[in-house]
Structure 1
């Protein structure tokens, strides 16, 4: 009997396996031709991939899901759905080998590996391909401490793991086992999975040795993969260890991988400014090496870090395509379950729900990767802000795709769709000529057939704190808010009158739109059907469409209801730091909560519990979550205007900037915190920097970040040792800031920069009257240059000449356009450190955004500058 059962099982297995192999063979795969071009196996056409890194199966993201009590597989399901909505077709991960290996390099079949299997399977369901970077060779702690795992990489230094014989043997054993590993969900070994494009040997290797040693290491890894039966392309990182770059092209690797962090990393705060010059070019200095053009080019990681702008992703991907890249993956997408805190990678922040504008920018970048040809060029900035069907704008913080059928925009736009009658897909944030909407979340509007559309609306999100400051799972940086808004659509195919029916789970909304307006729309998924239109098929909740199910909907409110269960308000306000005397002061604030407040009022510092009458200014609601008020010039006669913003709902009060649930008129209100604006007369200097409060300005300028710590220091071409010291010069002289630089570079250039746009935006008349930039310099290095960077991203400098009174005066008329230093320093380090403008633009004082001082140094020698205040007059 046993014999018959075994025979039956054998027959069944032999019947199933060929069928499975046959099915996998019918799925197109990727190969790399003799010219280094990635092509599809069925059509031989060029391939282009765009997507993200995402690390939930490993390290901090894995642990954070446990801390927050979130099911990890369900979390993967949610995020992969959003990958599909963003139009991504690529995924890359650097595997934490320390979590799936033992000390000898044996592969461990554990939960981390099982989650990776599951993730690859769920990506495959959406048609998303994967590149696996087999090992990281470092710990799993960041931003926490490393956890003891027993993995082989724990036994070696990152820069020794590729040269130590025992470590190399462990890697050979590990990488062979990894590619042979059979995914429990797909039934394929990684080496045979048609949805896995290939393997990168390791993440950012460290090769301190020779070209020969590096080549030998790579060849050993290639041999191990070949013996394991791998026939997929193998990739290697060439953007590190430039002293051995020849080794990479003297091996059988088929593809080379690169990174790009064009505005540096881990600034500790949100960066501001026009970074389009920073992403204008990606020139590879070793492109003339033999074999360079025979290997495919992949971007394993990129991100314009430390900012919330939405205009940078499409511009960056355009430049990558010009440089010939066919695989481009951002680092890193935040799992929705922990994105409210941005703890995984402090310097990166991307999630559909929590950074909606950036997410639409990424969606547009995915289209750039498909529409812009490999090697196609559009000139230099600013000419390349318009390319193909795309537009990017720093001033509007806008990315836009407008090709006639698709209309995507990352922020409110006035652009008209090329042909509204042909539209079949809209994705956006804010409003446009075809959608009027005051919510802050993403929406997608997709045509299913004539007169039938699918509408998906994400909940609102508002910023609570700086997402790029030190993170914690106890510190919220963005808050989801569930509110209802009217949405008005102007789509010829849909008409002015159409039915609206909820599609997602528990969505019972039914309405009739009139004149294109859907009243009181809440976050969810909806089926829109033109009045009189007859659908050709049943568009039901469980209906498959493209790579989604019509009723699918992912938002934090469903699986993390605590994320919005609060009756407090988010009050976001940036006070004008200075305002022209004799002019009214415009105050604007964001007040966001689950309910609209009864009123928002301004109390000045003069109100008191003991006064019988306390004057106030009521702020006027404008739209969305925005409130505005005008403070008459007559109330700004003193040198500074101090005020609180108070949100009123019923008998509850919430006062900012203190952020407490009381009113300044309560008997037990104890806070002395105020927003503050300085009033500037036409005879006063326009202060751009001050060491401390000795500069004859109020304390607000210091508390708003204009003190000594706000002056950023940099060195090109490489990092330097920098020492900063505030010098107290006694009762007569003002304090000064002494900065000492030392660099090993042959010809270092030292920079001091400060973003000043927020300081001077309230003084347009005083600014327009300024003619001279002044520096109080106690010690001025030879060749000092001073000037500004404008909103165009252009730099204008002039030489500084010392004077007997210690004040350096630079006439603005002497400022000349020069190259813009790309700071913070860019990664990889082989890229250009400067943007060289090809277009002459005249200096316009109203466009200044950053102050810059620079001077040249000598290798190994100290260079010193000592300055006090800096101002315009």
Structure 2
């Protein structure tokens, strides 16, 4: 045997062995997950629960074909640039009490989902054990699994339950996907497995390590070479016990605005998302193990601006993979019943979905551990810029331009652009519709355009929801669109390619009529071979999906301004939700016992407004109806009463109302009786809305004889915040002339009680002073010129609760900028706090304490 032959044989054997060892994702010595070719794993996407629980049951109730629904949603994932998917499998629906896998419809649908994701080049992280019952948001129904029999707590300690879990994990990994023929343990598109969803251990470190080791051993004994991950963000005092159990990485989650506020949160929440600070980041085991985020979402926010800040913070913390929780199945998204505290869907929350598209870009181009500083200086980083005021996120590289709201930014190099995605209008695209659109270059002079239908939010999507209650409407409308790309010229051709769309035209001065669908735009004279069946990346050129409109009756969406000054005119804006423009939209206003009629003018899309002259209002209240006449059907709002107020049998007396105040009148920033439910606070049974025992008026009652300590804070503290930004925005520019805050309240006990009151700006600054209250109810005064910079508490408290309690801006400011002030913060300063607060107001006056 010659030396060359031996050399070649050894080389081939070595390569073969290396290939066997590296056929799956692996974790290197630095704790980085890598593909078999050694490149870093970078994944971004969503959780999606279609085959299980509420989504599954709802599909049956609504007569939805779940496989078609899965296909449609995965297509949207692809359009948004996702390459990562995660779910906690409802083990209770696919196993028996002994942990044996049940070959049922849930598992078959999950097989289908995994197979279809693979076709779109979307990889999976699977958590086989959820511990959950299958009910939420309904009551649990019977299910045969071990989780139903034992419950989460017992599953972590009961010997029979542990044996069932080990059996289940082995069978799950060995299960062959019906649609691919490949066992999950060997599926190349499955990156890793997370043992279970959010275990909450209470045993000794040795017991915890033993439990996890049993699970890991069961999984690895199947021959699985993929990383096995475990949640290390709960019970963090056990972090060493987790890493000692043979896991390959730790999993994390982040809800920076907490959960279940039941209404949209106000104010700038970027400070909450500024830093994903892991308290055990210096732990040697942490550094040498993989790090992924299985769930995250700024819950109860209907804005786009916060997601990219979270993506940036994740990458700075060394996170390789993040999946938002949870993407609403489109067939449920008009009702948002699955998780009412979350709301994410391309068709129904297009601005938020495009923000996730930008997050995917961040994850794939931002290096691990790179820092861009702290808020507010880090709102521009890499190719991304964030504007809280405009709720605008922009991503702009040489070849890509994405935006979540209308923008006037000019792209860097227009002639090099190959991909555009947006909501609203930009320098390149003018569009009045409210849905998202995507413009992709197929070849020089030929582009693919996709347009989603319009969506209008009609009710609070974060409140009490039901399959019987719609919170949003989809409307398919024709709109003009202008596409100003030099690559296409002025008079390009427009040809629909999606099914049942026959629209075909030639643009005039960049402009053409568009209907929801997919189109090929081609420069004049350009010949090409692109058809609906042509492949373009992971999609076909003619592919398209959007939910059908279930629109029934038109409505008006409007929130009245809280108060305005009598010496200024003010604008009233309303949204008409309808498939056609109305014959008329009028406002019937009443002030000083006079009635006057105004016509609302069409601004754009579905938006109308009217200016109320200052001469038409006086101090007191401006009350009004909005009357819509559509196709000879007249409806009066706010109560959607058929007919108009002048009809003899019109009986509704409820109207919109705006308080009209004299210049430099006091401005109520917080009224406990009206605003308590909107407070950002940590739930505590001793913080309530209750009648003040001295006056019988409703008051914020803080009765804490012992102040709790948050995990993210070593000093006992309790804080609350109220967003009043919309109140000041309706006032005028003389706000800076006000001189003091007045707090109406009293101590609950005979010992004087202290609390800090602070004004919070949208730049993360807080200016506060300490108020001391006695048992006697009165007006307690804080001079504005005595306010000094103080600590800003991150409220609502983030989850997990080990995250920082306080936020400190990079630049300390000494002067209040009234253009930025939007919230008021109350924080304890002693070991106890027992007070009533009825209201807080901004006053132009020179007064001191007075009793009431």
Match of 2:823 among 850, 859, 862: 850
Question: Within 2, Cα distance between the matches of 1:481 and 1:131?
Answer: 35
Partner of 1:594: 579
Structure 2 unaligned residues grouped into runs of 5+: 1-15, 844-852
Offset, 1:333:
0.3
The answer to whether 1:627 aligns with 2:608 is yes
* Equivalent residue runs for 1:265-344 within 5 Å: 265-344=259-338
Partner of 1:738: 701
Partner of 2:837: 867
Partner secondary structure for residue 488 of structure 1: strand
Give the direction of change, closer, same or farther, for the CA distance of 1:712–1:455 in structure 2 (3 Å limit).
closer
Partner of 2:522: 529
Q: Which runs of 4+ in 1 moved over 6 A?
A: 24-28
Question: Within 2, Cα distance between the matches of 1:709 and 1:525?
Answer: 44
Q: Deviations over 1:52-82 (max 9, x none)?
A: 0000111111111111110000000000000
* Equivalent residue runs for 1:360-509 within 5 Å: 360-509=354-503
CA contact (8 A) 1:438 1:485 kept: yes
TM-score by length of 2: 0.93
Q: Deviations over 1:773-794 (max 9, x none)?
A: 1111222863321121112232
Partner secondary structure for residue 220 of structure 1: helix
Root-mean-square deviation (CA), in Å?
Answer: 2.2
Which is further off, 455-464 or 277-286? 277-286
The answer to whether 1:687 aligns with 2:661 is no
Give the direction of change, closer, same or farther, for the CA distance of 1:287–1:709 in structure 2 (3 Å limit).
closer
Partner secondary structure for residue 83 of structure 1: helix
Match of 2:620 among 631, 636, 639: 639
CA contact (8 A) 2:690 2:698 kept: no
Aligned length: 817
CA contact (8 A) 1:314 1:361 kept: yes
Question: Within 2, Cα distance between the matches of 1:119 and 1:241?
Answer: 33
CA contact (8 A) 1:607 1:664 kept: no
Structure 1 unaligned residues grouped into runs of 5+: 1-20, 693-705
CA contact (8 A) 1:299 1:327 kept: yes
Question: Within 2, Cα distance between the matches of 1:720 and 1:193?
Answer: 49
Partner secondary structure for residue 121 of structure 1: helix
Question: Within 1, Cα distance between the matches of 2:636 and 2:24?
Answer: 59
TM-score by length of 1: 0.91
Partner secondary structure for residue 442 of structure 2: strand
The answer to whether 1:32 aligns with 2:32 is no
Partner of 1:15: none
Match of 2:555 among 552, 555, 570: 570
The answer to whether 1:783 aligns with 2:754 is yes
Partner secondary structure for residue 246 of structure 1: helix
Partner secondary structure for residue 178 of structure 1: helix
Partner secondary structure for residue 616 of structure 1: strand
Question: Within 1, Cα distance between the matches of 2:358 and 2:503?
Answer: 30
Offset, 1:47:
1.6
CA contact (8 A) 1:238 1:248 kept: yes
Match of 1:551 among 524, 542, 546: 542
Q: Deviations over 1:168-227 (max 9, x none)?
A: 000011000000000010110000110111111000012110110010011111111122
Q: Deviations over 1:822-860 (max 9, x none)?
A: 1111111111111111212331123211112211343xx
The answer to whether 1:722 aligns with 2:713 is no
Give the direction of change, closer, same or farther, for the CA distance of 1:815–1:546 in structure 2 (3 Å limit).
same
* Equivalent residue runs for 1:256-271 within 5 Å: 256-271=250-265
* Equivalent residue runs for 1:85-100 within 5 Å: 85-100=79-94
Partner of 1:617: 598
CA contact (8 A) 2:45 2:85 kept: yes
Which is further off, 367-376 or 661-670? 661-670
Partner secondary structure for residue 332 of structure 2: coil
Offset, 1:660:
2.7
CA contact (8 A) 1:341 1:472 kept: yes
Partner of 1:10: none
Question: Within 2, Cα distance between the matches of 1:544 and 1:25?
Answer: 33
Give the direction of change, closer, same or farther, for the CA distance of 1:601–1:814 in structure 2 (3 Å limit).
same
* Equivalent residue runs for 1:82-231 within 5 Å: 82-231=76-225
Which is further off, 232-241 or 24-33? 24-33
Match of 1:670 among 636, 644, 651: 651
